[in-house]
């Protein structure tokens, strides 16, 4: 559980089918492209190779979400997506979701967590670096649907 000054603790749990509408609404509100569809969320909620997480605090049931993928035979988990409501940013939601994603990866005996981040998403880059992620691998040119490039970051999990 992460906590920042002057905010209630952020709680993270595994998403349930009853969260589907909120997951889709947050995706629509947060991203202009590269959105996860309702069908994809539905499939990943029941998948053994994915973990969908939901963050809440202050009696708000839904402040953010993260999705982690696991590949059979791999010791590297992938933080596929992370999003939070605009009013929840800077309040520990992203940190709590990332820590929960790392915990889920450790439970699966993964040795590291990898992610891609838009090169122009400076706040996300700062967050990842503050949490111990380091650039790994070459720039992924044209990685996103809109043609934006991505940095690859990775963190070793103890």
- In tens, the pLDDT along 62-109 reads 899 999 999 999 999 999 999 998 888 888 999 999 999 999 999 999
pTM of the model: 0.89
Lateral strand order in the sheet of 112-118: 11-14, 50-57, 60-69, 76-84, 112-118, 150-156, 134-135
List of domains in the chain? 11-156 (3.40.630.30)
């Amino acid at each position: 559980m992460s906590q920042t000054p002057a905010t209630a603790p952020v709680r993270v749990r595994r998403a349930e089918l009853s969260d589907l509408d909120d997951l889709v609404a947050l995706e629509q509100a947060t991203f202009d492209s590269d959105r996860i569809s309702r069908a994809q969320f539905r499939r990943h909620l029941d998948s053994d190779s994915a973990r969908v997480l939901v963050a809440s605090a202050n009696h708000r049931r839904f402040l953010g979400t993260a999705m982690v993928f696991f590949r059979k035979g791999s010791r590297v988990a992938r933080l596929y997506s992370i999003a939070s409501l605009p009013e929840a940013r800077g309040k520990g939601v992203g940190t709590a979701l990332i820590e929960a994603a790392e915990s889920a990866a450790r439970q699966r005996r993964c040795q590291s967590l990898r992610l891609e981040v838009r090169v122009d998403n400076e706040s996300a880059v700062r967050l990842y670096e503050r949490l111990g992620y380091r650039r790994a691998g070459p720039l992924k040119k044209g990685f996103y649907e809109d043609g934006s490039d991505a940095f690859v970051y990775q963190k070793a999990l103890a």
